[in-house]
């Protein structure tokens, strides 16, 4: 795996795919710059060597249409402040202006290209579009783990036009940390899967069954498992077409000596609202018309014990509707347990959009071992799929 450490960028122009798909508010102000900061080590290495940087990214889903709300212009001022130097901006990524600006770069310069997805050829993986992008730089670096599962022009196809190419520091770290959990974990290894649906996690569960000792299940997907065991779940979220799947997972776990931990109790509500009337009951005895929206206190204690005995922890998916304060306690308690285990020497990897949002909401990101920046990419990696953006660099 080649990284920026394998190159001296002096006098070179590096074409770097970053993931600046950051959230903006109605005033086009960045509300979370995590992904921008994640790219800084790679950028700083290049300019520190005396190279120039050409950054390319997408923002949102403009579907080939030029739209102001998807412009990367709001990134310029913030990135300039983070780098301590003026960032130049090209109003397109492949037009004559962009090519001229790239050609005129001098050592230490940083150029940001406009949204790649203003061209339909980006998501289509059009080779001629990738070749035009490649003409801008001497070395290609992919540092966008969040899009590494997409075979797009800038993430995959462009690599074929370079003799010199490398993993950015972020991409390399992401791959190393996921590989550590999948193939080099200290045992016991506990996977925690939450979120709404079983269907979205089936492939991960199947892939992990030969690697883990414990599987903790929470979130909406738990109620499908409880119903599969004959429990009463009221009007909780259930995938009735996945009942047999859940039964099959429970049976496979038995065969492979994987301990599956399902919730004991739940916080239920009479409507999907933070202002709803709530109560606590056994998770298999939810009253008719009530819906489970979080794990209960007995479950919190049980899960904390399992986590405390783990040496490696993988967390993907919340335990409840953590966006609502009245149903965030289960997810917070789980995060606290992971933090405690980490402080006691366990290795913890947190990934997936909602889990990352939760760990950030509780201001605990710095207290776990690693927080993955790529939701979909991490899930596909855990499912055992080859990521095109990674394969293109090998």
Positions annotated as catalytic residues are 35, 197, 353, 376
The residues, any chain, with a CB within 8 Å of residue 360's CB and separated by 6 or more, are 32, 34
User: What is the C-alpha end-to-end distance of the chain, expressed in Å?
Assistant: 7
CA–CA distance, 70 with 191 (Å, rounded to integer) = 36
Report CA-CA distances (Å) from 329 to 61, 215, 286, 324, 332. 33, 20, 19, 10, 5
Peptide bond into 79 cis (omega under 30): no
Contact 112, 89 (CB under 8 A): yes
Using alpha carbons, select from 157, 50, 151 the residue that is nearest to residue 108. Answer: 50
Closest CA to 287 of 241, 325, 231: 231
DSSP 24: B
Sign of CA dihedral 115, 120, 123, 129: negative
State how far the Cα of 59 lies from the Cα of 66, in Å rounded to an integer. 11
Backbone angles phi, psi at 287, to 5 degrees: -60, 150
SS3 276: coil
Please give the Cα distance from 325 to 183 (Å, whole number).
37
Helix (H, G, I), strand (E, B) or coil at 375: helix
Local structure of 277: helix, strand or coil: coil
Alpha carbons 340 and 344: distance in angstroms, whole number: 6
Could you tell me which of 98, 115, 128, 11 has the C-alpha nearest to residue 57? 115
């Amino acid at each position: 795996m080649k990284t920026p450490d394998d190159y001296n960028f002096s006098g070179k122009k590096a074409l770097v795919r970053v993931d600046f798909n950051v959230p903006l508010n109605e005033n086009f102000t960045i509300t979370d710059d995590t992904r921008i900061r994640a790219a800084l080590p790679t950028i700083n290495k290049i300019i520190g060597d005396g190279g120039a940087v050409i950054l390319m990214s997408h923002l949102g889903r403009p579907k080939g249409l030029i739209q102001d709300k998807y412009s990367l212009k709001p990134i310029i001022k913030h990135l300039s402040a983070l780098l301590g130097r003026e960032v130049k901006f090209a109003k397109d990524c492949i037009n004559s202006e962009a090519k001229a600006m790239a050609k005129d770069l001098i050592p230490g310069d940083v150029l940001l290209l406009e949204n790649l997805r203003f061209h339909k050829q980006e998501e289509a993986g059009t080779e001629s579009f990738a070749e035009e992008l490649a003409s801008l730089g001497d070395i290609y670096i992919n540092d966008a783990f969040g899009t590494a599962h997409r075979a797009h022009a800038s993430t995959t196809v462009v690599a074929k036009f370079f003799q010199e190419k490398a993993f950015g520091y972020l991409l390399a770290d992401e791959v190393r940390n996921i590989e550590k959990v999948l193939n080099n974990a200290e045992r016991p290894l506990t996977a925690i899967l939450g979120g709404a649906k079983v269907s979205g996690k089936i492939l991960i569960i199947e892939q992990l069954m030969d690697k883990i000792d414990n599987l903790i299940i929470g979130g909406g997907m738990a109620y499908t498992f409880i119903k599969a065991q004959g429990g009463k779940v009221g009007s909780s979220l259930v995938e009735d077409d996945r009942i047999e799947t859940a039964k099959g997972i429970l049976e496979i776990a038995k065969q492979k000596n994987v301990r599956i931990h399902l919730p004991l109790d739940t916080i239920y509500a009479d409507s999907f609202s933070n202002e709803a009337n709530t109560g606590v009951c056994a998770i298999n005895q939810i009253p008719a018309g009530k819906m489970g929206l979080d794990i209960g206190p007995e479950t919190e204690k049980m899960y904390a014990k399992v986590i405390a005995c783990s040496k490696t922890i993988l967390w993907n998916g919340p335990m409840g509707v953590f966006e609502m304060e009245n149903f965030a306690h289960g997810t917070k308690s789980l995060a606290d347990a992971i933090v405690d285990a980490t402080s006691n020497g366990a290795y913890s990897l947190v990934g997936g959009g909602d889990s990352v949002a939760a760990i950030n909401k509780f201001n605990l990101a710095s207290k776990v071992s690693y927080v993955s920046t790529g939701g979909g990419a991490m899930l596909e990696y855990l499912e055992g799929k080859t990521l095109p953006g990674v394969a293109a660099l090998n």
